Amino acid sequence: MASFAFANSMLLLNVLLIGLCLAHPINDIETQGWSSDEPLCTSGPLGMESGAIPDGSLTASSYYSSTYLPRKARLNEGNSHWWAPATSAKQGSWIQVDLGLPGPVITGLIIQCRPSEYLITFSIQYSSTGESESWHDLENAEGDTIRFNKDFTGGQRVTVTFPQVLKTRFLRILPITWISYPDIAFEVLGCRDGIIRLAGGDDALRGRVEIYHDSAWGAVCDTNWDIQDATTVCRQLGFPGASEAKNGSFYGATELPIVMDRVACNGTELYLRKCSYLCKENSPCTSTAGLICNPRGVVRLVGGPTKTSGRVEIYVDGKWGAICDTEWDITDAEVICKQLGYRGAKQAKSGAFFGQGSGPNLIDGVKCDGSEAKITDCPSHCWEKPKCNNTETAGVICVEG
Ligand SMILES: *[C@@H]1O[C@H](CO)[C@@H](O)[C@H](O)[C@H]1NC(C)=O
Ligand SMILES: *[C@@H]1O[C@H](CO)[C@@H](O)[C@H](O)[C@H]1NC(C)=O
Ligand SMILES: *[C@@H]1O[C@H](CO)[C@@H](O)[C@H](O)[C@H]1NC(C)=O
């Protein structure tokens, strides 16, 4: 660790120094939903048993009686009265836990039932907002809802490992079949290390960068903080890159310790902790790093005679690009116009009607059914290699408000 003393004059050694921070080895995670990658850090209990997950985080669709409240679903509540759904509720009952924002990485659960009154099968749902329309079933690779079937008969703790890592805020257990009154206690398994949040900004796109490290939130020093570093952070948060890096505690000072210094990303890393950096302990930095991310799925009209018409461009992975006109029709145009806040579409235009753009062509064969809120929600032939040139791009004429 003595090498830290020389770090200021040895910036070029950044890459070598990463090794000093590897007390918590990290791999990749996805920012939403499933990832095929390993979790960022070693999976462990997230706090049902320790109490780190507070009582208020636990809710249920119903409970059998006041001795079977949702907050009783902790493994150490004693094994006589855990959570049990009301017998009248049967199918569709659930118990839910709010793991806080930003959601941790979840790898599985530990579940325990009473030896005589236990689950037979159950499913899992997750959501990033907890709103009623936002829940997804945990599915297998074929897209079928997974019905977990574990042996709870002896009253032992059973570890349920999810087939892939999940990153989410809300998690639900839904009993499907059971014996008698299924008393259920559980623990959520996962980790928070390396998770990022933005603080001190007016909206979700901007703020001071804070990272969860060693069981606590910490801040990032602004020394050498630049757009490449900001780009990597925004990508980790699920945004298409950054528009600005902010130094000098632009989004306010913080009481939190600074845990990363001299961050040096090249902007292609998926996670901040993949970049080279110094652990903070020996640096005198007090000024924090901030940023502004690019919004997701942005659409604009370019090259038209009025603001309600033009070539459709979408912002993906840090650049504006066009949409190929293959099968481009009025239904697709409607989705674009509504996404832009207009009443609807008057015409769909093909063949680079509003001129050729200089960006790449990003989607081909868009086929909306008209119910979508955003063009990126519509099915399309491909995002990977659109087969059109700049003379074959899509445009719209919208009808204003
Ligand atoms: C912030 O970054 C700019 C551009 O690199 C630099 O000129 C300025 O001195 C920095 N300010 C602080 C407070 O570090
Ligand atoms: C960026 O950094 C990553 C991780 O250090 C490295 O694998 C990648 O090759 C770099 N990319 C460029 C364009 O320098
Ligand atoms: C674009 O593609 C069309 C259809 O394949 C073709 O006719 C046209 O020559 C191409 N234009 C350019 C500039 O490559």
Residue 269 near ligand 2, beta carbon < 6 Å: yes
Q: Specify whether 142 is located in the same domain as 64.
A: yes
Ligand nearest to the CA of residue 222, numbered in listed order = 1
For residue 337, give the H/E element and its range: helix 330-339
Task: List Cα–Cα distances, 91 to 9, 66, 78, 122, 339, in angstroms.
Answer: 65, 20, 26, 10, 37
Cα of 4 from ligand 2 centre, angstroms:
24
Measured CA to CA, the distance from residue 20 to residue 198 in angstroms comes to 26
Model pLDDT, residue 193: 85
Contact residues of ligand 3, CB 6 A cut-off:
389, 391-392
Locate the ligand 3 atom nearest the alpha carbon of residue 389 and give its number: 1
Residue 247 near ligand 1, beta carbon < 6 Å: yes
Locate the ligand 1 atom nearest the alpha carbon of residue 226 and give its number: 5
Measured CA to CA, the distance from residue 93 to residue 76 in angstroms comes to 23
Locate the ligand 2 atom nearest the alpha carbon of residue 15 and give its number: 5
Ligand nearest to the CA of residue 390, numbered in listed order = 3
Mutate to test the pocket of ligand 2, among 16, 235, 266 (most ligand atoms within 8 A of CB): 266
Residue 257 near ligand 1, beta carbon < 6 Å: no
Is residue 118 within 8 Å of 83, Cβ to Cβ?
no
Of 245, 275, 293, the domain-final residue:
293
Name the β-bridge partners of 122. 148, 175
Q: Specify whether 139 is located in the same domain as 281.
A: no
Domain count for the chain, please give it: 3
Is residue 182 within 8 Å of 84, Cβ to Cβ?
yes
Q: Specify whether 19 is located in the same domain as 149.
A: yes
Nearest residue to 243 via CA among 231, 261, 257, 255: 231
Q: Specify whether 102 is located in the same domain as 207.
A: no
Q: Specify whether 286 is located in the same domain as 339.
A: no
Which residue range(s) make up the domain with 328? 299-399
Measured CA to CA, the distance from residue 289 to residue 259 in angstroms comes to 12
Q: Specify whether 93 is located in the same domain as 174.
A: yes
Q: Specify whether 313 is located in the same domain as 215.
A: no
Measured CA to CA, the distance from residue 112 to residue 80 in angstroms comes to 12
Q: Specify whether 175 is located in the same domain as 206.
A: no
Of 191, 208, 233, the domain-final residue:
191
Task: List Cα–Cα distances, 83 to 49, 62, 136, 241, in angstroms.
Answer: 14, 9, 23, 43
Locate the ligand 2 atom nearest the alpha carbon of residue 268 and give its number: 1
Of 168, 191, 214, the domain-final residue:
191
Atom 7 in ligand 2: residue holding the nearest Cα: 269
Domain harbouring 45, CATH code: 2.60.120.260
Q: Specify whether 49 is located in the same domain as 161.
A: yes
Domain harbouring 307, CATH code: 3.10.250.10
208-221 burial, b at 16+ Cβ within 10 Å, e below that, comes to: bbbbbbeeebbbbb
Q: Specify whether 354 is located in the same domain as 221.
A: no
Task: List Cα–Cα distances, 77 to 70, 74, 93, 116, in angstroms.
Answer: 11, 5, 21, 17
Q: From the first residue on, what is the mean pLDDT of each consecutive set of 10 residues in the chain (401 residues)?
A: 35 30 27 40 87 94 93 84 83 92 89 93 92 87 91 95 87 94 93 90 90 89 96 85 94 92 90 85 80 83 92 81 92 93 93 91 88 84 74 94 67
Q: Specify whether 143 is located in the same domain as 215.
A: no
Model pLDDT, residue 184: 95
Measured CA to CA, the distance from residue 320 to residue 362 in angstroms comes to 9
Model pLDDT, residue 194: 86
- E-strand spans in 61-113? 95-98, 105-113
Model pLDDT, residue 317: 66
Q: Specify whether 91 is located in the same domain as 179.
A: yes
